[in-house]
Chain A
């Protein structure tokens, strides 16, 4: 294992840790602009995290070790996933640890523990958030798997580095199957990261919360870890989409010379995606919980059409 590859790995994880709050801040800034409000600034998430890290932790009397362990686990899985998805370079030593299915499963274990933490304290809000979150997750999984299936059909692999390499090797064709899979992935990403129209990340009304309800009881450094992991999850889902569908700009070889270019491309793409997210969030309203099967059913339909059109049209 060459030492420069290890350094690239560290640089990528550091970029993830450092830039995920900035991405969240960018999305928040654009949202405020589009709604005619003054934004708190790009660096506000950093200030929030610093504030939370320095505060005391307040725990309910009957919080168990699961409640205290979950923030660390959620943070850990997000960092591990960040070390595997090619963001800056394909040549990561951790890349063969996991393929796309394993990355989805890493997010699943984080969600499992967060749902348990929601049930731990014994209030109605936590249970409600856990129940809704598990329902949304179970409906999103088939659609996600079909999208992965379609992408793996076109690229003959489920390993992300391999997918990027196949796309680079010049087999870029206008494939309707990949277009369908991409649309399905967008819908699923909105569901998994908890954005409008599935869940409102900025709500303060408990009856409209899904993800927020599960982490309602956290405070201090635990809340800092959970919030940071949430920002990283959004960042990573966008990176996953970029790597699977539009990876141009990611460094192909493990050399330092290609990295600054990769960083610039990444920033540009993230900026663009942030704008799209804000357009979607501002243009749509949050859906009623029991309309979500239609939403996720549409995602499943799109990904199935992608898979079918691969066989029918290609």
Chain B
């Protein structure tokens, strides 16, 4: 098995990560959104394990397991429970319509490719081609937070952004030091708990999780 095969499989998984990011961007149902997020985590953890095997960085196996347990199992489970308990409406509304969102996403991918082109020339890692995809995933996560009106999608957008950052770390420098990874994972877990508590309170106060309702909080003058 040569490095060439590794690069190909890594590229393939990167493409799947991008596809799941776009899928989350255009998805209208909450349950589908959470499932797609879980799939994205799965592709990411497989990619991390693969890079760990080929580059010989064994700490990446632990990162991969961490991603698997956190982002594929635990967080989606928590989110599904939240959606059930709070009896949230299962459809997501968006600020611009879906074809326009897709076009903006494509424009972001082209932009991140253009941005990462010089880095790609200089890097010697097997994952150098996937850096542009990682940046695109970050931006699509941000786009998701901007164009969706539902609070659950805000957090999923944030988590997808974090996925993209993790992916970028793996592509650029074969992962961060283990201490940093553990810290980030703990932060994400705590953020998820805090978000859950906030959702509960918001829902009690406004009877809905539509972020447009929060505009009522501003002072009228």
Contacts and interface: CB of A to CB of B under 8 A. Distances in A.
Interface residues of A, number: 20
Interface stretch (A54-62, A95-103, A221-229, A305-313): A305-313
A241 to B, nearest CB: 20
Interface stretch (B45-53, B128-136, B142-150, B191-199): B128-136
B15 A311 contact: no
Given A311-B113, A312-B129, A305 B18 contact: yes
Contact of A305 (B22, B129, B130, B132): B22
Nearest to B120: A312
A297 B8 CA distance: 28
Contact of A309 (B9, B15, B102): B15
Contact of B11 (A176, A180, A294, A305): A176
Contacts of A297: 98-99, 102
Interface of A is mostly: helix
B183 to A, nearest CB: 31
Interface in B1-33: 8-9, 11-12, 14-16, 18-19, 22, 26
Interface of B is mostly: helix
Given A294-B98, A308-B106, A301 B22 contact: yes
B113 A305 contact: no
Interface residues of B, number: 23
A174 interface: yes
A40 interface: no
A261 interface: no
A304 interface: yes
Interface string A151-178: 0000000000000000000000110110
A179 interface: yes
Contacts of A179: 12, 15
Interface string B53-86: 0000000000000000000000000000000000
Contacts of A312: 109, 113, 129, 132-133
B22 A180 contact: no
